[in-house]
Amino acid sequence: MARIDPYIYLIVSLLGVAYPILLQVVARLDERYESEHITSLFKSEIEWTAFRYTLVAALMSVLIWSLKLQPVLEIDRLDFIIENSATLLVALSTIVLVISFLLYVRKVLIYYTPYSLIPYLIRSQEKSKSEVKYFPALSDLLLLSIKRQQTNLSRTLSDFFYTAFRKVRDGFSDEPVLYPEIYYETVTRAVEELAILKEKRNYLLEHRTAGGIWLLGEMHGKEISERTYTLV
């Protein structure tokens, strides 16, 4: 019993302290960013899933150890491992649990800080095979930065969206440029947020949204689609 006491105490501590925090993180992210897209992305992160499953696995290993089952195999030179397999399972699962918890905390810190979250989501979108997987979350962050007048954040996001719109335009040659619907929604919502601000400070973003730069680019000979024309 004494040999696995530290492991059991550690598992119980993580169950009693860390798991409630895990549940609170989602609620606080929702309050912090006012975005269900960001919350959904966080819950899809491998660290979120890994910590929950490794916690269950660690508890199951303790249960197996407590049953004191007799070995069902006898193999020469492996007697020690077989006889202490339940104890080794508890130790291994606890180590994996601690590692997954540390990785989970690291991911939480990224999501809790806009200055870390925005570059992280931009990098993730650039690596993603999906054109719009992280786009809604970045769009929500843009609107929040406008609302809170966080000019530095909105400029970083503005540069990302400028590049994203240009990348879509470059994919069209002999037909009108048509963006994914979320692109149009982002422009519309950004213009609406900028219109209600009392202090006009974000001139670059106004120029790129209301001025049509995101949708039209610098007019490099691209044909305008009817859907795009309605917003310009």
* pLDDT tens, per residue, the chain with 232 residues: 446 777 777 788 777 777 777 778 888 888 889 899 999 999 999 998 998 899 888 888 888 777 775 655 555 555 555 556 677 888 888 889 889 989 998 999 999 999 999 999 999 999 988 888 999 999 999 999 988 888 889 899 999 999 998 888 888 877 888 888 999 999 999 888 888 876 666 666 776 776 678 777 665 556 666 676 566 5
Neighbours of 176 (CB within 10 A): 13
Query: Does one domain contain both 16 and 95?
Result: yes
Name the residue with tokens 């990302």: 160
Asked which of 48, 81, 112 is the last residue of a domain, the reply is 112
Beta strand residue intervals within the chain, DSSP E: none
pLDDT at position 196: 81
111-to-65, 95, 107, 192 alpha-carbon distances in Å: 37, 25, 6, 26
Question: Which range of residues forms the domain containing residue 9?
Answer: 5-112
pLDDT at residue number 2: 45
Q: What pLDDT does residue 7 have?
A: 78
Residue 217, sorted as left (phi over 0), alpha (psi -120 to 50) or beta, turns out to be: left
Q: Do 30 and 80 belong together in one domain?
A: yes
Contact 33, 141 (CB under 8 A): yes
What is the C-alpha separation between 225 and 54, in angstroms, rounded? 50
Kindly state whether residues 81 and 152 are assigned to the same domain: no
At residue 68, the 3 state secondary structure works out as coil
Element containing residue 11 per DSSP (H, E): helix 5-13
Question: What Cα–Cα distance (Å) separates residue 58 from each residue in 33, 51, 64?
Answer: 33, 10, 10
Q: Does residue 156 sit in the same domain as residue 77?
A: no
Say whether both 103 and 150 belong to one domain: no
pTM over 0.85: no
Nearest to 179 by CA among 129, 130, 131, 124: 131
What pLDDT score does 125 carry? 94
